[in-house]
Amino acid sequence: MRFRIRRPADPPAPPSPEEPEPAPAEQDVEPEAAEPPLSAHEIELIRASVTVVEPLAADMTVYFYAILFARHPEVRPLFPPGMDAQRGRLLRALLRIVDMVDDPENLVRFCGHLGRDHRKFGTLRDHFPAVGACLLDSLARYAGPAWTPDIAAAWTKAYGVVADVMIGAAEEDARTRPAVWPATLVHRVPRGSGIAEVTVRPEVPYAYAAGQYVSVETPWHPRQWRSYSPAHAPREDGTLTFHVRAVPGGTVSTALVHRAVPGDMVRLGAPMGDMVLDAAVHNDLLCVAGGTGLAPIRALVEEVARRGGRHQVNLFLGARTGAELYGVDDMLRMAQRHHWLTVRGAVSDEYIPGIRRSLPQVLAEYGPWYHHDVFLSGPAPMVTSARQTLTLTGTAPDRIHHDPFDVSALATT
Ligand SMILES: Cc1cc2nc3c(=O)[nH]c(=O)nc-3n(C[C@H](O)[C@H](O)[C@H](O)COP(=O)(O)OP(=O)(O)OC[C@H]3O[C@@H](n4cnc5c(N)ncnc54)[C@H](O)[C@@H]3O)c2cc1C
Ligand code: HEM
């Protein structure tokens, strides 16, 4: 199987009401051949081995990193000092890739995202054989007697395919943009309820599309990258404003909300995510947001305005209590300016006349929505229940857009 890496598209045009040019989300990587990279037998062998090691994944992860760092101390500085929370991600992704080995298109898209995303970690081509060998040794150890030369050969092949696509996508990406963008924090404005608006100014232009999200690394927690969504369409002055909520015990969010001061330096990874307006060129929009999940939705609303308000936008804001209905005043002000924008609230756990209902109830009441393109953003349970309600009432799944809940690079569509 050969893979063709498509040339990256140009960066998004600056905002221009006369000629609104959609900003490309990011480069796509497409498979050239339709056939899976592995034979049916090899796929079967790999899946069977995963079934054996999956219950032991936690121990295997510890072992994997232990041998990786012992054999290749040069890669240790790429990883966060304390890795407990994230330890499982790399290995989970590797195991998840197994689910895609017979789906080349998704596999290549997924690995292309991952490869580009890995640039911010400082990953190099030469690191891949080291990780691959430690992975294989870990699998062999935890699969025990179930490990055979045929399984080892199938895994070697699968890892090679994945690594090739990741390396190719990263190297292609490196031709057109930096791996990271240093940025100066220029404002931090507390908004109550543990939320702050944090504005940064990248040192060099940072092209992104409204609705995308950005990995941020702070000086206080090096190599701990967290995703935040700019709450606006691209600005002429190039600044980005994030709405950050300090989660209880949260490492990076707490620092951004309570510690950051103007002049602090952060680093940004490349923008990610497909929750962009181009996914809904001709249809009206249904947007559902909870908490700071409003940020990318707000950006999309600004983008609709920038393009001349050619979509009707129905925005539903959900929260447990009235006090948690984040950003509602701001959005109501926007609705006064834009006739195509309707804003409704839904509060589930507090009696407020007119809006005490769960989001699924409200969506069902005002629907049906199957002619709309849908953008969902907020806590995972909210997104999951809204998605369920909408698909049950006839919205096609491919019209429903939302970001991944956990590992950013796991978005495959
Ligand atoms: C695509 C995407 C976009 C995002 N956009 C935004 C945004 O615009 N604004 C924003 O504030 N956040 C956003 N997030 C969440 C953000 O990336 C971090 O997960 C969050 O700030 C917590 O990071 P932390 O380092 O403070 O917490 P960690 O140190 O990683 O975690 C500390 C504790 O908090 C828990 N925790 C982690 N995340 C959450 C959460 N979201 N809610 C409740 N508990 C949590 C963990 O399980 C852990 O127990 C986004 C996440 C994704 C995947
Ligand atoms: C097939 C090969 C690989 C796969 C599938 C893979 C997958 C992943 C995934 C899914 C994540 C989490 C990403 C996120 O949080 O957004 C991750 C993180 C990371 N990967 Fe990889 N990876 C691979 C190879 C490598 C290599 C070769 C290196 C270089 C040593 C590397 C270094 C890292 C680092 C430093 C992190 C961040 C870890 C953390 O924050 O805890 N990866 N990887």
Question: Is the distance from the beta carbon of residue 118 to the nearest atom of ligand 2 less than 6 Å?
Answer: yes
The ligand whose atoms approach the alpha carbon of 211 most closely is: 1
374 vs 406, residue with greater confidence: 374
How deeply is 354 buried, as exposed, middle or buried, from its count of CB atoms within 10 A (0-12, 13-18, 19+)? exposed
Q: How far is Cα 372 from Cα 43, in angstroms, rounded to an integer?
A: 38
Q: How remote is the CA of residue 121 from the centroid of ligand 2, in Å?
A: 8
Query: What pTM does this model have?
Result: 0.87
The minimum-distance atom of ligand 2 relative to the CA of 72 is 30
CATH numeric code, 3-174 = 1.10.490.10
Pocket of ligand 1 (CB under 6 A): 85, 213, 226-229, 242-245, 247, 249-254, 292, 295, 403-404, 408
Question: Is the distance from the beta carbon of residue 407 to the nearest atom of ligand 2 less than 6 Å?
Answer: yes
Q: How far is Cα 188 from Cα 218, in angstroms, rounded to an integer?
A: 14
Residues of the chain with CATH 2.40.30.10: 181-268
The ligand whose atoms approach the alpha carbon of 220 most closely is: 1
- The pick from 188, 212, 228 for probing ligand 1's pocket by mutation, whose C-beta has the most ligand atoms within 8 angstroms, reads 228
What crossing angle do the helices spanning 88-97 and 104-117 adopt, rounded to 10°? 160
Residues of the chain with CATH 1.10.490.10: 3-174
Fold for 277-410, please state it: Rossmann fold (3.40.50)
Q: What is the largest CA-CA distance in the chain?
A: 68
The ligand whose atoms approach the alpha carbon of 112 most closely is: 2
Alpha-carbon torsion, ordered 360, 325, 300, 344, to 10 deg: 50
Residues of the chain with CATH 3.40.50.80: 277-410
Q: How remote is the CA of residue 118 from the centroid of ligand 2, in Å?
A: 6
Q: How far is Cα 202 from Cα 199, in angstroms, rounded to an integer?
A: 10
* Predicted local distance difference test score (pLDDT) of residue 145: 94
Q: How remote is the CA of residue 131 from the centroid of ligand 2, in Å?
A: 9
* Predicted local distance difference test score (pLDDT) of residue 169: 96
The minimum-distance atom of ligand 1 relative to the CA of 245 is 11
Fold for 181-268, please state it: Elongation Factor Tu (Ef-tu); domain 3 (2.40.30)
Q: How far is Cα 201 from Cα 185, in angstroms, rounded to an integer?
A: 6
* Predicted local distance difference test score (pLDDT) of residue 280: 61
The ligand whose atoms approach the alpha carbon of 155 most closely is: 2
* Predicted local distance difference test score (pLDDT) of residue 106: 82
pLDDT digit string (tens) for 258-316? 999 999 999 999 999 989 987 666 689 999 998 889 999 999 999 999 988 888 999 99
> What SS3 state is found at 168?
helix
